[in-house]
Every structure is written in C-alpha cells, then in structure tokens.
Amino acid sequence: MSGSSIQRPNEDAHQEIYDTGMEFRRKVMGDEYVDNQLKNGVSDLMKPMQQMHFPKAIHRDCLEVAWGTIWARPGLELKQRSLIVVALTASQGKTEELAGHVRGAIMNGATEVEVREVLLQTAVYCGIPTGMTSFRVAEAAIAKMKAQGEWNA
C-alpha cells in the first residue's frame, strides 16, 4: 500500500482534535501541570516529542493522539482512564508522569483508597521496589494537593 492512498484530513479536523485533546488534558491534569509541560516542551530538543510525527501516516500531534482521540473516547469514565494510567506509569517506573496522573485521578473523582488499591495491585505484578517507589510518589503528590488546598476527597 503506497502512502499516496492515505486520506489526509484537513487542518480544521486536526485543529478540532487538538482542541479537544487540550481540553481533556487540562481537565485531567490541571492548568498548572499542562502549562508547565508546554513551557518545558518548547526547546529544540523537546518540541519534536510534543509534536510527534508518525512516518507514512497522517501527521498527529502527541496531544491529538493521547488526549484528543483516546481520552475523549466514550466507553470509560475519566476516573477509570486515570486509574489505568496510574497503573501503567507506576508499572514502568515513570515517576514524574505518575505524580501528575495521581493528581489527575484525584481530580477525576478517584479516592485515596482507589489510588492505593491500584498501586497495591500494580506492585504485585511489577515488583515490590516499583511498588514502594510508586507509593512514595503518590503520597507526595497527594500531600502537595492537600497543602495547596486542591484536595476534594
């Protein structure tokens, strides 16, 4: 199959997906987190990661793919998606992302108990050292939310 047979949506369609993605990203992660990530992603080194191109396919921005397409899909509530990402980032040892997604899960209605249970289950399958690190990250993220008055649970 040649690349010429791929239908390319117009820029308006990309902009709509991007805008939806930004809306969901801000709703889940909060304005401060997103603004910080965007600010840190403008260097020549980081910008390509923020605007990822997939070879021989439609240009997709990272935000379009993850937030505008996946997070915006029906079928799961935002809280469920958040808890899945907590488990995935914990399992991979991605501590910076884990902290942001623990915060996002809480903002999406997850309780401290639900976050704890997800991390316990993740630890069983990914190992105790990974679990201990994940609990430390989650505890710090929750403490920061409480200290900043962002705790709704």
Model confidence over 43-88: pLDDT tens digits? Answer: 777 666 655 544 434 435 667 778 888 898 899 999 999 999 999 9
Alpha helices by DSSP H, listed for the chain, are 11-29, 31-40, 47-50, 62-63, 78-92, 95-107, 112-126, 128-147
* Stated length of the chain: 153
CA distances from 92 to 29, 63, 98, 115 (A): 19, 21, 9, 16
pLDDT digits (tens, 9 = 90+) for 31-46: 887 887 777 656 777 6
pLDDT number for residue 51: 59
> Quick one: average pLDDT of 9-19?
71
Domain 78-147 top-level CATH class:
mainly alpha
In whole numbers, what is the pLDDT of the chain averaged over residues?
Answer: 82
Is residue 4 classed as helix, strand or coil in its secondary structure?
helix
Q: Where in the chain is the domain with CATH 1.20.1290.10?
A: 78-147
